[in-house]
Structure 1
Amino acid sequence: MDAVEHDKRGAGGRPAAGRKGEVDARLLDAATRLFLTLGFDATSCDQVALDARAGKASIYARYANKGALFAAVIESNLARLFATDAAHLAEGPLRERMTAACLGVVEQALQPDAVALLRLLVAEAPRMRDMALSADQLRWRMGVGRVAEAIAARSSGPDAIARATVPAAQLIDIVLAPALMRALLGEDEAGLMQNAKERIGVAIDFLAARGALDSWD
């Protein structure tokens, strides 16, 4: 065991309670850097542990294999990029709430680190079946949850967000999917944002015409 890791361990060789979150964060940060720099195949769990200044036991105690580590990297970065602000989402009428939430999602999704993660995710898609990350989970992480909260912001009841997920997913599919595809092809972020603003208005009109927003204020 190296000295750095030894200093962070409590009784029984386990990380002290106050250090566990710090070790988790270092491992995920290191794994993100290495996956983006080297790719999936050239990155090893041992190299991640070394880069994070942690012992090998720290990483193998948390992740069964490299696929599980990769899934954790995707999950943690999506959670960070698409975190919601419930107080902000409750402001304004429904159309404004949906527009603001969807624009925020697209803006975050088009950030360079987010696009780089998406490229890596697309490249490793054939491995996803072994990584416990379903398409629905990814869609939820990539903005559906934020838009659903915006739609349901003024509704009561524990099932409000679940019901709002249907129109939220439709809005995200219409607006975000084409923006991400064009971002992967190298199109300019400013132009994509302008196009997204136009698509959001059209998409909301489409959902309203179909009655998908009738039960929301």
Structure 2
Amino acid sequence: MVASKIARGKVGRPPLERAGEVEERILDAAKKIFLAEGFEGASVDEIAQQARAGKPTIYARFPNKAALFAAVIGRQAARNTQYDNLVPEGRSFRAKLISVGIALIERAFAEETVGLMRTAIAESPRFPELTREISDKARKRATCNLTKIIGELAQAEDLAGEGRFSPDRIEDTARIFIDMILFPMFIRCLLGEELRALKKEVPDHVEKRVDFFLDATT
């Protein structure tokens, strides 16, 4: 009787403190399978086996494979656009902006990020809303987080109340910074240019665009 009660106690949903761990394990497994097999080649059976989780556990959190794929991409984008640990380096305003620009590109060039985004682009004809939603959310999050960094740098330079760095314009300024510096290199990467060659171009690319950015904003 006791053994029966213990066995029954093991069945069901995990405790709340473990629920997040289970979801992370599922997303980690799904990311690995999507990167290796692509969206079409990936199966929920294989993901369940990799995650050591039952299919009902997966479907309780993600109604279908597309929703699981969206969650994987969304988590990766959130990690790449979380800039809390990004510390600008250098003495001058220009040097600090250059270090920020290089850091943004280096994060975007992470192998997992590139692989997942290429998979998402390949599936965009089937799931256009998904690709658009992920792109919009990532851009908004990156802009919001970069606004804080550039705002703090501008304040240290006594530029916070002036022109493009004023409170009502700083968000647009951060968005322009991303559009000028990050996106051109990232798009070239996603289109298949050799990553090693692109990385060699990054310092010069960032320096020239930071100079243009400063000429236009200060």
Fold shared, TM-score > 0.5 on shorter chain = yes
2:122 corresponds in structure 1 to: 123
Equivalences for residues 47-86 of structure 1 within 5 A: 47-85=46-84
Counting aligned pairs with the same residue, the percent is 33
Give 3-state SS (helix, strand or coil) of 1:15's partner: coil
Letter in 1 for 2:74: E
1:137 corresponds in structure 2 to: 137
Q: Distance in 2 between matches of 1:161 and 1:14?
A: 47
Judging changes above 3 Å, is the alpha-carbon distance between structure 1 residues 182 and 47 closer, same or farther for their aligned structure 2 residues?
same
User: Where in structure 2 are there 5+ consecutive unaligned residues?
Assistant: 1-5, 161-165
Cα RMSD for the two superposed structures: 3.2
Q: 1:134 deviation in Å?
A: 4.4
- Among residues 201, 205, 208, which one is paired with 1:199 in the alignment? 205
Judging changes above 3 Å, is the alpha-carbon distance between structure 1 residues 178 and 97 closer, same or farther for their aligned structure 2 residues?
same
Equivalences for residues 12-23 of structure 1 within 5 A: 13-23=12-22
1:208 corresponds in structure 2 to: 214
Q: 1:23 deviation in Å?
A: 0.4
User: What is the total number of aligned residue pairs between the two structures?
Assistant: 201
Q: Is the 8 A contact 2:82 2:145 kept in 1?
A: yes
Give 3-state SS (helix, strand or coil) of 1:13's partner: coil
Equivalences for residues 2-17 of structure 1 within 5 A: 13-17=12-16
Q: Could you tell me the TM-score, scaled by structure 2's length?
A: 0.76
1:165 corresponds in structure 2 to: 171
Give 3-state SS (helix, strand or coil) of 2:207's partner: helix
Equivalences for residues 24-43 of structure 1 within 5 A: 24-43=23-42
Q: Is the 8 A contact 1:71 1:132 kept in 2?
A: no
Letter in 2 for 1:58: T
Judging changes above 3 Å, is the alpha-carbon distance between structure 1 residues 164 and 63 closer, same or farther for their aligned structure 2 residues?
farther
Q: Is the 8 A contact 2:124 2:130 kept in 1?
A: no
Identify, as 1 or 2, the structure richer in helix: 2
Q: Could you tell me the TM-score, scaled by structure 1's length?
A: 0.76
Cα deviations by residue, 1:109-137 (Å, 9 ceiling, x for unpaired): 11222221221121122214146724321
Q: Distance in 2 between matches of 1:109 and 1:87?
A: 14
Q: Is the 8 A contact 1:36 1:116 kept in 2?
A: yes
Q: Is the 8 A contact 1:175 1:196 kept in 2?
A: no
Judging changes above 3 Å, is the alpha-carbon distance between structure 1 residues 28 and 87 closer, same or farther for their aligned structure 2 residues?
closer
Give 3-state SS (helix, strand or coil) of 2:42's partner: coil
Q: Distance in 2 between matches of 1:163 and 1:90?
A: 24
User: Where in structure 1 are there 5+ consecutive unaligned residues?
Assistant: 1-5
Letter in 1 for 2:184: P
1:98 and 2:104 correspond: no
2:3 corresponds in structure 1 to: none
